[in-house]
Amino acid sequence: MSKQKLIIDTDPGIDDAMAIHYAFAHDALDLIGLTTIFGNVFVEQATRNALWLTDQAGRAIPVSEGAATPITITPNAPSHYVHGDEGFGDMPAMRPTRSADPRPAHIFLADTIRAYPGEVILCPIGPLTNIARLLDHDPAIAALVKKVVIMGGAVDCPGNVTAFAEANIWNDPHAADSVFAAPWDMELIGLDVTSQISCDADDFSSIAREAPDIGGFLEQISLFYIGFYHSIIGRHVCLMHDPSAVISITDETAFEYENIPLEVICSGDRIGATIRSQQKRRPVKVAKAVDAMTVREIFLDICKQSDKIKKQSDKRQPGHA
């Protein structure tokens, strides 16, 4: 069976790194590109970190840099207190070996989706600016994407940056609203489910034992992330937002969905809130319930394979003896 082509739009970011390594390690997924966006870090840091993750996985896929700022609002500060000054907890700035694709993210996305019509799943796990730009640049692209699986939003639960808003939507509410207005198949993996899915330090140690290289890195960056969550929820765990979106692609049955047309509040106290729309919009498949233990176990099982998968892909690289 052929693998599912996937592009992740990302602001790495600790849980972004977890999601990307999950995707690289999963044998049903073919991660064919990363596009980067401001959010957890500045976009230049996001690009550098994304390139470094491809080095670490031994997979020279294209990384294309996207927007540095939101469409309309003044940018919020990066969330260094959640992800660290350089994006990977206490780790210093990474030094990737490769450079970014010369195309801006929205052009790379249009070219790649058009090269594989109907085959690509687009998975944004950061603010939605690049995706809104893609729609602006090439409105017909909506019919050519297989589906868009978004980590973001808080539909029937409180937000995580304000009482109303989840971070990815809050960082560019206008972009998110235009993405929800587009006529394509969308799924939303938001705080309604991701705030139920957590891992602790023992979980990451178990990954590191089986996969000392990539798992060891995930263990190291998780410490900062667990420290942040401990400071706000008082438990030594971290929430698995971004990996959950990718896991919903490989293991949809772990989630229960409701079809809801969505819009985003773009000004005032409730800016960034994801609400039910009264407008005529295509309903979004919103994840409303999850088997959290199963998602956690899937994450651990797949990430434990990451070093083994890396060695297999090393052997396939040209020039390998």
- Indicate the residue whose CB is closest to ligand BDR: 167
Smallest separation (angstroms) from ligand BDR to the CB of 242:
5
| Rounded-to-integer distance, Cα 162 and Cα 185, Å | 28
166 versus 242: smaller Cβ distance to Ca ion:
242
Residues from 222 through 281 that contact ligand BDR (CB under 6 A):
241-242
Choose the one of ligand BDR, Ca ion, none that binds residue 160, judging by a C-beta under 5 to 8 angstroms depending on kind. ligand BDR
Scored b (16 or more CB within 10 A) or e, 45-63 reads bbbbbbbbbbebbbbebbb
What amino acid occupies position 9?
A: D
Is position 11 annotated as part of the catalytic site?
Answer: yes
| Rounded-to-integer distance, Cα 318 and Cα 321, Å | 9
State yes or no: residue 159 binds Ca ion (CB under 5 A): no
Is position 241 annotated as part of the catalytic site?
Answer: yes
40 versus 54: smaller Cβ distance to ligand BDR:
40
Q: Would you tell me the crossing angle of helices 129-137 and 173-181 to the nearest 10 degrees? A: 50
Q: Are strands 29-36 and 4-10 parallel, antiparallel or unpaired?
A: parallel
Kindly report whether the peptide bond that precedes residue 153 is cis, defined as omega within 30 degrees of 0. no
Residue 237: count other Cβ atoms within 10 Å of its Cβ: 17
State yes or no: residue 151 binds ligand BDR (CB under 6 A): yes
Question: Do 166 and 272 meet the contact criterion of CB atoms below 8 Å apart?
Answer: yes
Q: Could you identify the residue written with the tokens 């957890």?
A: 40
Question: Do 225 and 272 meet the contact criterion of CB atoms below 8 Å apart?
Answer: no
Select which of 177, 241, 242, 307 is catalytic. 241
Among 8, 9, 13, 41, binds Ca ion (CB under 5 A): 13
Choose the one of ligand BDR, Ca ion, none that binds residue 219, judging by a C-beta under 5 to 8 angstroms depending on kind. none
State yes or no: residue 87 binds Ca ion (CB under 5 A): no
State yes or no: residue 47 binds ligand BDR (CB under 6 A): no
Smallest separation (angstroms) from ligand BDR to the CB of 92:
20
Applying CB under 5 A, which residues contact Ca ion?
11, 13, 16, 125-126, 242
Applying CB under 6 A, which residues contact ligand BDR?
13, 15-16, 40, 79, 82, 125-126, 151, 160, 166-168, 241-242
